[in-house]
Copies of this chain bind each other. A is one copy, B any other.
Amino acid sequence: MEQDLQNTLSLLTRTPGALNALLRDLPEMWTSRNEGENTWSAFDVVGHLIHAERTDWMPRVRMVLQFGEDQVFPPFDRWGMVRETKGKSLGELLDEFARLRAENLGQLRALNLQQADLQRRGRHPAFGVVTLSELLATWGAHDLTHLHQISRVMAYQYREAVGPWSAYLGVLQCAGHSA
């Protein structure tokens, strides 16, 4: 099943602004706390999105176009943001994410991909053959999985403050579902 590339671009374009509106200058209680050991804060998630802009999405798009199924994507480092974010403020990360995303979408648009290009194939280290369409759709859905995560991590900070209403708040029952 193919996506409409314009729909994906519309979403990818909006994520930096949405995170900026939600997170900039928010008290650190919301942005620097996580859900416990080896979990991420909102700050960490923005760092992860930056790391993916640098090392995952467009590099993999270019690999598909250049090498097809002949070269395996390098694995993505899920903790790769730790050293990159050290000493930075959340405001700096939000700026960096917006800048990198705009650059990457500029490069993606410049490729002028046609519908037939979306069927081109690459090789994922775990999944094997994947299509360019799947890669690009995942870029968009990946934004959403992390917006989902940020809202959950933030809500977690109020899990006791809401008292009995926790029973009505689905986000407080969410365990994250990620590996």
Give the contacting residue for A27; candidates B10, B19, B131, B177; CB below 8 A.
B10
**In the assembled complex, A137 has its CB within 8 A of some CB on chain B:** yes
Contact A141 B3 (CB under 8 A): no
Interface size on A (CB < 8 Å)?
61
Shortest beta-carbon distance, A57 to chain B, in Å?
A: 12
Which residue of B29, B160, B170 is within 8 Å of A177 (Cβ)?
B170
Q: Which of B14, B141, B171 contacts A22 (CB 8 A)?
A: B14
Contact between A22 and B27 (Cβ–Cβ < 8 Å)?
A: no
Chain-B contact segment, one of A62-70, A79-87, A101-109, A146-154:
A146-154
Q: Which residues of B contact A26 (CB under 8 A)?
A: 10-11, 14
Query: Which chain B residue shows the least CB distance to A165?
Result: B138
